[in-house]
């Protein structure tokens, strides 16, 4: 029986007996399936608020733990030098400890590659629990190390080894934590919630620095060099157990779980990003090398300023500006606390005006304020030093508050952890962790105390260019994930306005993933229907 297709569209309204337009190309004679379908309310992820808070707390404790160790080690550099290299001059001792700190970051890329790839394969939560346990155990072990007086140069070698192990574990920490929180948060508040990770980071640093300061004031320098330096590292043991407990209570992110379930349900529907993950780190780099390079440059600029403020500044104030160890530590603590409390504000600002504008504020203000900051520090008064530190902290606040939300959004869900592990850790290893060593070496070679300012200006200039190529992601769904909202009412509104919403691109939504979970879903319609 002939089929009546007279209602099918045609430019001239004419149809032949077979129901096709005789003037149409041959390829157009068969019904064509559209590559996408319309967004339905069931597609939209509604955030479970109690679970979001639990996930946020579970990830913050890990970042706090990581930066607690950074703060402790950075503020004990001048104290630990005589413990491990007592026969060397103070400059050699300082360079050795700064080099040991930098060695931590050499292992980070390997940890980021391995843990990132595993995080995309087996899940974020399992890997984050593993990295935290290794990180806490290695920090605790530093406090048990014998000194040069007991085993000679082996003490210094074991210190470097433990810091390398720690760096390997932290390679999977920040990349996984930012990925995890970004996938949990609603699209319109991702910048705000993700910024709490860096709030925890800098508070952890301040806690470590404050503990070192209290010990220096109460025990004295001689006792600190004898055995007091061990206490902050040993404290990491019980703190780590508490942090692991909280992290073990969080569940897998809903965005990644949906991708994982879909892949298990129907492997044939794997997308190009899934194929990249299946081929391992090499496949990820080949598929996403452009956003990886952009992310690396932005991370390099941000972390150069961040590590100059945190890890190097106590040494700079002591070695170059004549402050004693206690004041070199104490002066940075109030600046770090105030900066930490401001980080969520700049994260929230990025949800309003976009990630790129906020990051540009960080880059431009670094270029403008670096020289005045170090000139103020050079005056040598407490008030001027605090003012100089505040000028360095200002751009850092705009930088770090937005890395946690801007960078994960550059990569698809199935490869996000792995790509973040590569981009972030290689950049930190090359530029961030080496910042204290590089600027100390530059000052030593030139005798110019302004070299740190020039170094910060150069890295932020390149960073400002890279931000131009960074894809804006504020208020948009993560690549490879469906939209995420806070309430069911927002989900209904999003579906109703999907055609007019400039932040929703239906062609980029992973309908094939959603349809793999729902076999009854509509996968396409004949063109013109």
Mean pLDDT of 67-71: 83
Model pLDDT for residues 303-323, shown as the tens digit of each residue: 899 888 877 787 778 777 777
Mean pLDDT of 442-454: 86
DSSP-assigned states of every residue in 162-194: HHHHHHHHHTTHHHHHHHHHHHHS-GGGHHHHH
Residue 272's pLDDT band (cuts 50, 70, 90): very low
**How far apart are alpha carbons 46 and 161 in whole angstroms?**
45
Mean pLDDT of 480-504: 90
Q: Determine, yes or no, domain membership for 94.
A: yes
Domain that holds residue 366: 45-251+280-468
Q: Determine, yes or no, domain membership for 9.
A: no
Q: Determine, yes or no, domain membership for 123.
A: yes
- Poorest-pLDDT segment among 281-295, 321-335, 372-386: 321-335
Q: Which comes out higher in pLDDT, residue 330 or 426?
A: 426
Give pLDDT, residue 29. Answer: 46
CATH number at residue 385: 1.20.1250.20
For residue 25, pLDDT over 60 is answered with no
Give pLDDT, residue 275. Answer: 54
Give pLDDT, residue 515. Answer: 63
In the numeric block, the tokens 């399936």 are attached to 33
Q: Determine, yes or no, domain membership for 179.
A: yes
Residue 1's pLDDT band (cuts 50, 70, 90): very low
In the chain, the percentage of residues whose pLDDT exceeds 70 is 85
Model pLDDT for residues 338-351, shown as the tens digit of each residue: 999 999 999 999 99
Residue 488's pLDDT band (cuts 50, 70, 90): very high
Q: Determine, yes or no, domain membership for 2.
A: no
- Poorest-pLDDT segment among 124-133, 315-324, 503-512: 315-324
Beta pairing partners, 518: none
Q: If you average pLDDT over every residue of the chain, what do you get? A: 82
Model pLDDT for residues 150-170, shown as the tens digit of each residue: 998 899 999 999 999 988 998
Q: Determine, yes or no, domain membership for 415.
A: yes
Residue 525's pLDDT band (cuts 50, 70, 90): very low
- To 10 degrees, what angle do helices 153-170 and 77-84 make? 140
Pairing assessment for the beta strands 484-485 and 45-46 based on DSSP bridges: parallel
Give pLDDT, residue 516. Answer: 59
Give pLDDT, residue 270. Answer: 45
The count of structural domains within the chain is: 1
Give pLDDT, residue 18. Answer: 40
Give pLDDT, residue 32. Answer: 47
Residue 15's pLDDT band (cuts 50, 70, 90): very low
Q: Which comes out higher in pLDDT, residue 515 or 229?
A: 229
In the numeric block, the tokens 């984050």 are attached to 128
Cβ(334)–Cβ(117) below 8 Å? no
Q: Determine, yes or no, domain membership for 11.
A: no
For residue 31, pLDDT over 50 is answered with no
> Residue 281, Cα to own-chain centre: how many angstroms?
18
439 φ/ψ sector (left φ>0, alpha ψ -120 to 50, else beta): alpha
**How far apart are alpha carbons 466 and 296 in whole angstroms?**
9
For residue 439, pLDDT over 90 is answered with no
Model pLDDT for residues 196-222, shown as the tens digit of each residue: 998 888 888 888 888 988 898 899 888
Measured over the CA atoms of residue 46, residue 51, residue 54 and residue 55, the dihedral's sign is negative
Residue 13's pLDDT band (cuts 50, 70, 90): very low
For residue 127, pLDDT over 60 is answered with yes
- Poorest-pLDDT segment among 132-146, 373-387, 434-448: 434-448
Going by C-alpha positions, the residue among 448, 465, 472 that lies closest to residue 367 is 465
Q: Determine, yes or no, domain membership for 132.
A: yes
């Amino acid at each position: 029986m002939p089929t009546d297709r007279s209602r099918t569209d045609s430019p001239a309204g004419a149809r032949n007996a077979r129901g096709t337009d005789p003037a149409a190309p041959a390829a157009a004679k068969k019904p064509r399936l559209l590559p996408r379908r319309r967004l339905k309310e069931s597609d939209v992820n509604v955030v479970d608020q109690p679970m979001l808070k639990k996930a946020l707390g579970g990830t913050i404790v890990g970042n706090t733990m990581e930066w607690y160790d950074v703060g402790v080690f950075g503020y004990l550099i001048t104290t630990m030098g005589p413990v491990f290299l007592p026969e060397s001059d103070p400059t050699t001792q300082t360079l050795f400890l700064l080099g040991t700190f930098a060695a931590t970051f050499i292992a980070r890329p390997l940890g980021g590659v391995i843990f990132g790839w595993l995080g995309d394969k087996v899940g974020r939560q399992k890997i984050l629990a593993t990295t935290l346990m290794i990180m806490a155990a290695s920090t605790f072990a530093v406090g048990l190390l014998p000194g040069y007086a007991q085993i000679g140069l082996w003490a210094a070698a074991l210190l470097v080894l433990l810091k390398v192990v720690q760096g390997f574990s932290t390679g999977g920490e920040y990349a996984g934590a930012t990925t995890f929180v970004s996938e949990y948060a609603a699209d319109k508040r991702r910048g705000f919630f993700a910024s709490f990770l860096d709030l925890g980071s800098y508070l952890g640093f301040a806690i470590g620095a404050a503990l070192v300061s209290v010990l220096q004031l109460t025990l004295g320098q001689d006792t600190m060099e004898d055995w007091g330096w061990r206490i902050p590292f040993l404290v990491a043991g019980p703190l780590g157990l508490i942090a692991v407990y909280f992290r073990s209570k969080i569940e897998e992110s809903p965005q990644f779980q949906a991708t994982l379930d879909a892949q298990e349900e129907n492997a044939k529907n794997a997308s190009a990003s899934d194929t990249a993950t299946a081929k391992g780190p090499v496949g990820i780099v080949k598929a996403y090398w452009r956003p990886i390079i952009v992310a690396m440059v932005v991370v390099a600029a941000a972390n150069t300023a961040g590590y100059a403020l945190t890890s190097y500044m106590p040494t700079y104030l002591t070695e170059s500006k004549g402050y004693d160890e206690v004041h070199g530590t104490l002066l940075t603590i109030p600046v770090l606390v105030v900066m930490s409390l401001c980080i969520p504000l700049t994260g929230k600002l990025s949800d309003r005006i976009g990630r790129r504008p906020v990051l540009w504020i960080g880059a431009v203000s670094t270029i403008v304020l670096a020289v005045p900051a170090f000139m103020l520090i050079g005056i040598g008064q407490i008030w001027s030093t605090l003012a100089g530190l505040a000028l360095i902290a200002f751009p850092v606040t705009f930088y770090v508050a937005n890395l946690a939300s801007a960078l994960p959004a550059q990569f698809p869900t199935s490869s996000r952890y792995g790509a973040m592990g590569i981009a972030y850790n290689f950049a930190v290893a090359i530029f961030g962790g080496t910042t204290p060593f590089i600027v100390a070496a530059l000052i030593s070679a030139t005798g110019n105390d302004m070299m740190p300012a020039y170094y910060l200006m150069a890295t932020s200039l390149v960073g400002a260019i890279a931000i131009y190529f960074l894809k804006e992601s504020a208020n948009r769904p993560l690549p490879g994930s469906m939209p995420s909202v806070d309430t069911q009412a927002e989900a209904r509104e999003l579906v109703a306005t999907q055609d007019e919403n400039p932040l929703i691109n239906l062609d980029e939504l992973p309908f094939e993933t959603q349809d793999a979970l729902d076999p009854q879903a509509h996968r396409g319609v004949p063109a013109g229907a």
